[in-house]
Amino acid sequence: GVMPRKLDFSAYGSTNGGLWDLKGERMSVVSKGKDGTPLLVAALLARQKEEAGQIDPEARGMPLGLPALTALQVQIVESWVAQGRPQ
């Protein structure tokens, strides 16, 4: 199975609460990965790749078990993060 990360998008405050990393520590969903891409955006892009048959062992795609967001939807999330996550 997949280890739960306790990521909650039900409200603005809970989204900013972040998620649990593999070590059991809290981290921000907008912190940058190795390539500089925010983790949230990387997970959305990973889901697109999964649907294309390209599995990335470093990133689990989201939304898990649902269709990938469109390129435009991912761009909106990326812009929101770049603008400082305004409410």
Q: Convert the pLDDT of each residue in 1-56 to its tens digit.
A: 667 788 888 999 888 888 888 888 999 999 999 999 999 999 999 999 999 999 98
pLDDT of amino acid 1: 63
Strand positions, DSSP E, the chain: 19-20, 26-27
| Non-local CB neighbours of 51 within 8 Å, separated by 6+ positions | 67, 68
- The CB-side HSE value for 16 (13 A sphere, CA atoms) comes to 9
Give CB contacts under 8 A, 24+ apart, made by 72-80: 73/44, 74/41, 74/44, 74/45, 74/48, 77/40, 77/41, 77/44, 78/38, 78/41
